């Protein structure tokens, strides 16, 4: 298949999948399943720290019949935490122009830095949307910044389960209950900012609070 046609199908498929995220009857809404920052890092193909240099609205594909638009952000990559095997230095990232398709609005030409998680398409382009974890770097806690290098990656075998109402329980020994929504009525509360779901030597997982020293069973996992 010609590369240009592959690109058309890559964008078309992604936009179709994002359209399915919209709840029935809400044509102007973007809906995403909740996910802990640790899960975002584990499930994303790419995790970087970057500044936005400029933005430009472009066609979503080379197909003249395709009326969808994309925003192309030119970025200055500061650090890559994940994705080394897929891309090296990233110049552009792409997102839907339409907010109902979960397009992301970022500040260009400013000093603001972002943590960006996203996908790498078959043509090598980096794609982001509102269902990814995208945060101003200054809003991240010390533990979150440190965990991007170590704890998140090393504990992808753990599963974080969102607790909406009581009672809520774990169904497997490698699960941690995420209670920010239940206790604070917001997703990225104290637990998301200051805890990592960490794996023990026996395969079970539990929350580790960053300001406390690691217990020996945790050290056995992360240190050779």
190-195 long-range Cβ contacts below 8 angstroms, 24+ apart: 192/36, 192/37, 193/140, 193/141, 193/143, 193/144, 194/141, 194/143, 195/143
**Nearest to 52, CA basis, from 5, 105, 89:** 105
Cα 208 from Cα 212, distance rounded (Å): 8
Distance between CA atoms of residues 99 and 109, nearest Å? 21
Handedness of CA 92, 96, 99, 102 (dihedral sign): negative
Residue 197 known to bind ligand = no
CA distance 184 to 11: 37
Query: Where do the DSSP E strands lie in the chain?
Result: 46-59, 69-82, 92-96, 113-120, 126-127, 134-136, 159-162, 175-178, 195-199, 205-209
Output the known binding site: 30
Output the known binding site for Zn(2+): 30
């Amino acid at each position: 298949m010609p590369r240009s046609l592959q690109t058309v199908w890559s964008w078309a498929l992604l936009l179709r999948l994002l359209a399915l995220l919209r709840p029935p009857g809400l044509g102007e809404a973007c809906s995403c399943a909740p996910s802990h920052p640790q899960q975002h890092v584990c499930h994303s193909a790419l995790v970087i720290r970057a500044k936005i240099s400029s933005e430009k609205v472009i066609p979503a594909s080379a197909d003249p019949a395709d009326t969808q638009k994309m925003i192309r952000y030119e970025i200055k990559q500061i650090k890559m935490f994940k994705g080394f095997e897929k891309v090296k230095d990233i110049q552009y990232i792409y997102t839907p122009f339409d907010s109902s398709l979960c397009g992301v609005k970022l500040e260009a030409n400013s000093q603001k830095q972002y943590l960006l998680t996203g996908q790498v398409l078959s043509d090598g382009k980096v794609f982001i949307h509102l269902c990814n974890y995208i945060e101003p770097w200054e809003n991240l806690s010390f533990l979150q910044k440190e965990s991007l290098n170590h704890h998140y990656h090393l504990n992808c075998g753990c599963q974080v389960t969102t607790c909406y109402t009581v009672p809520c329980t774990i169904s497997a020994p490698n699960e941690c209950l995420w209670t920010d929504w239940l206790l604070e009525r917001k997703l990225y509360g104290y637990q998301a900012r200051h805890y990592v779901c960490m794996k023990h030597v026996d395969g079970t997982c539990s929350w580790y609070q960053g300001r406390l020293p690691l217990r020996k069973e945790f050290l056995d996992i992360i240190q050779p």
